């Protein structure tokens, strides 16, 4: 698929998405959000895609937030619609995807940019990255799920501090508080993300999907344990389960079909 503001390529079962508005520090304008929604839907239905690496063009920014210039004249209704549509079509769609999304944070991840990274299942930061939610400097609050996901990831105390001060933190600090999984040199960023997906790719696809949904249910619903029980049961109905157990008994690597 050809996009105006994204580069995308499937290679060795990994979908690479690069947000490509380097001059605007990859800020999320309407068009980019729509293209992200489209490429996420593509990843979801494409069986070849086993995982996704999401990053920003250049070495300065992952994403510097929502495109401030676009919504400077918005009223309350438009603001609410922006947040609702963005959350549903992009941010929640990533979080609930059956494919594992890794954010490779190659520089500034601010506002909607950090929210995008937090919607991904795993975050890896380059050592030059700066992460923050500066919305209150604009008279706003995060609108793409930032108040919820930051709290889930780092706890209420740190989340309140980061959101109310608007202070950006370094990759090392972000790793210390659990906001990112790893900090690596910029040059190793994509390799580190690929290394994780190369492992995940060998696992059973339906089990990966079930694991993501069950973990999500622990924070987004009040029936996480029941979701796990049901998903666990469903796994027994899959060919992948039969193959996994047979391969174990036959002492060979499993060859999963995702069925």
Residue of 35, 95, 135, 175 with catalytic role: 135
Going by C-beta distance under 8 Å and a sequence separation of 6 or more, which residues neighbour residue 221? 227
- One residue of 10, 49, 140, 235 binding ligand CAA per CB under 6 A: 140
Q: DSSP string covering 135-186, please?
A: GGGGT----SSHHHHHHHHH-HHHHHHHHHH---EEHHHHHHTTS-SEEE-G
Q: Is 48 a catalytic residue?
A: no
C-alpha to C-alpha distance for 144 and 82, rounded to whole angstroms: 9
CB-CB contact of 2 with 39 (8 Å): no
Residue of 35, 95, 115, 175 with catalytic role: 115
145 binds ligand CAA (CB under 6 A): no
CB-CB contact of 37 with 73 (8 Å): no
Stretch 10-49 residues interacting with ligand CAA (CB under 6 A): 24-25, 27
C-alpha to C-alpha distance for 98 and 177, rounded to whole angstroms: 27
| Binding residues with ligand CAA: total (CB under 6 A) | 22
Q: Is 80 a catalytic residue?
A: no
Q: Name the one range near ligand CAA by CB under 6 A: 93-101, 110-118, 215-223, 250-258.
A: 110-118
Residue 228 beta carbon to ligand CAA: minimum distance, rounded to whole angstroms: 31
- One residue of 35, 67, 175, 240 binding ligand CAA per CB under 6 A: 67
* 130, β-bridge pairs: 108, 170
108 binds ligand CAA (CB under 6 A): yes
Rank residues 65 and 244 by Cβ distance to ligand CAA and give the closer one.
65
135 binds ligand CAA (CB under 6 A): yes
* 8, β-bridge pairs: 17
Question: Which residues contact ligand CAA by CB under 6 A?
Answer: 24-25, 27, 64-69, 108, 110-112, 115, 134-135, 138, 140, 142-144, 146
Catalogue the active-site residues.
115, 135
């Amino acid at each position: 698929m050809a996009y105006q503001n994204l580069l995308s390529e499937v290679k060795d079962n990994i979908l690479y998405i690069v947000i490509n508005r380097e001059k605007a520090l990859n800020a999320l304008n309407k068009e980019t959000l729509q293209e992200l929604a489209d490429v996420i839907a593509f990843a979801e239905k494409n069986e070849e895609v086993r995982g996704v690496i999401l990053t920003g063009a250049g070495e300065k920014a992952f994403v510097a937030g929502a495109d401030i210039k676009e919504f400077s004249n918005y009223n309350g209704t438009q603001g609410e619609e922006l947040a609702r549509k963005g959350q549903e079509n992009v941010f929640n769609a990533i979080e609930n995807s059956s494919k594992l999304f890794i954010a490779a944070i190659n520089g500034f991840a601010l506002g909607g940019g950090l929210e995008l990274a937090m919607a991904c299942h795993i975050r890896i930061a380059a050592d030059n990255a700066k992460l923050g939610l500066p919305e209150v400097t604009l008279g706003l609050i995060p609108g793409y799920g930032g108040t919820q996901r930051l709290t889930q990831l780092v706890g209420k105390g740190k989340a309140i501090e980061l959101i109310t001060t608007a202070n950006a933190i370094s990759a090392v600090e972000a790793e210390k508080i659990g906001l990112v999984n790893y900090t690596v040199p910029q040059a190793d960023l994509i390799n580190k993300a690929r290394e994780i997906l190369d492992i995940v790719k060998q696992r059973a696809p339906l089990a990966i999907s079930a694991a993501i949904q069950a973990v999500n249910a622990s924070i987004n619903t009040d029936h996480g344990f029941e979701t796990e029980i049901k998903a666990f049961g469903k796994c027994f109905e899959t060919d992948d389960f039969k193959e996994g157990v047979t391969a174990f008994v036959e002492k060979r690597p499993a060859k999963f079909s995702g069925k």
